[in-house]
A and B are shown apart, each in its own frame.
Chain A
């Protein structure tokens, strides 16, 4: 299942870098695409602004198939306060831009599965695939707009996993 989670994250990260190279964050001294996996970073009290944060939630497994299928729910959280140059008055527009970016990087709804625990990453045999995102209502805290989208990510367990 870790390979599916890694592959999903890397697919979104690669697609984000492709459609908007300027959407980055500075983390541990490195500039990288504006997306991270919460469980793979040091805990933070509040998610960073203008960054997609992947949080892995539920898990389901279907053992009665030719290959075991796992379904993992991923919540993608993001928030924005707009830009300084507009005094935050563009936070609605920034939220719309993040919404659009997320919809874009989620398509197509599948990606090849890789084993990222070795270098270089090794291609596996099957595809990781997912459903359409289910968006939540935006929440407002002072000047900050937040939203999340839940996606069910599916994969088949391959031999050796």
Chain B
């Protein structure tokens, strides 16, 4: 009889792919990845609300939870053990610089560079979508293909987490800057073409279609700072797609940036290390626990494995 299975050795993979999804910071609701329903997604097109951050390198997971023995007897022997603390760290290097990778690789607020510095926002009209922004004709003519834009509401004195649905900062006191939310918003995009009354974006806005009170402003780039009191917190999913079709998922429902902005340098030519080098964003994160609804256990991360077709399990 012909065997219809094979014994697959350890998975062989090339790189790790990273996906992040925004946590609702106000309600502290993370995005949970369901490997039973979402595991076979196209790596280039993750299920909503996961955002593809591309391949990463140097992916390292470290479990730092501490366990202590429960001692009994004289002389004492270990009767059992208890988990004293829950802690896990993740670090890796992003292979691209974008709004989101830069924000994740910094420990604090991540700001958009508005141009001019303030007071130049134009109103976004009804009918706008995550990919097409409707503007008045006199506003649309101020932009051209290649313009970078930020879209969000005016700041009007609120405190707490600001930016929806992705929180970009936490304000303890009111500010006077009407553009503040657009400075910290993740709703940024690249204009690929301009119509008489619309801007077409290269990729959908991470936060989805603009809200009714949204305004648009041009940006030139981004800036972050060492210091501050805000921590980026996202749900994270890392995927290793192995050669036999196996998939390994590392899912961290709550991952907070734990270190300030840091870069590493990777020479393009190993034989010419003083020549051109790639500047990589270094991301370091701490996992925070959630309570698993399955059994009430507090956990930091999930590791899922989907074996190859026909492989022995």
Mark B100-140 against chain A: 1 for CB-CB distance below 8 A, else 0. 00000000000000000000000000000000000000000
Cα distance, A108 to B310, chains bound together (Å): 20
Q: Does B244 contact A (CB under 8 A)?
A: yes
Q: Does B8 contact A (CB under 8 A)?
A: yes
Interface size bracket, B side: 10 to 19
Q: A159-B3, A160-B3 are in contact. Are A67 and B9 (CB under 8 A)?
A: yes
- Using Cβ atoms and an 8 Å threshold, which residues of chain A touch B309? 125
Interface members, chain A 123-161 (any B CB < 8 Å): 125-127, 129, 154, 156, 158-160
Q: Are A156 and B6 in contact (CB under 8 A)?
A: yes
Interface of B is mostly: loop
We find that the number of chain A residues with CB closer than 8 angstroms to chain B is: 15
Cα distance, A67 to B243, chains bound together (Å): 14
Q: Are A126 and B310 in contact (CB under 8 A)?
A: yes
Determine the residue in chain B with the shortest Cβ distance to A67: B7
Residues of A within 8 A of B (CB): 65-67, 69, 109-110, 125-127, 129, 154, 156, 158-160
List, sorted by A's number, 24 A–B pairs whose CB atoms are closer than 8 Å.
A65-B9, A67-B6, A67-B8, A67-B9, A69-B9, A109-B243, A110-B243, A125-B3, A125-B4, A126-B6, A126-B8, A126-B244, A126-B308, A127-B243, A127-B244, A129-B244, A154-B12, A154-B243, A156-B8, A156-B244, A159-B2, A159-B6, A160-B2, A160-B3
Q: A67-B6, A69-B9, A126-B6 provided; 5 other pairs, C-beta below 8 A?
A: A125-B3, A129-B244, A158-B3, A160-B2, A160-B3
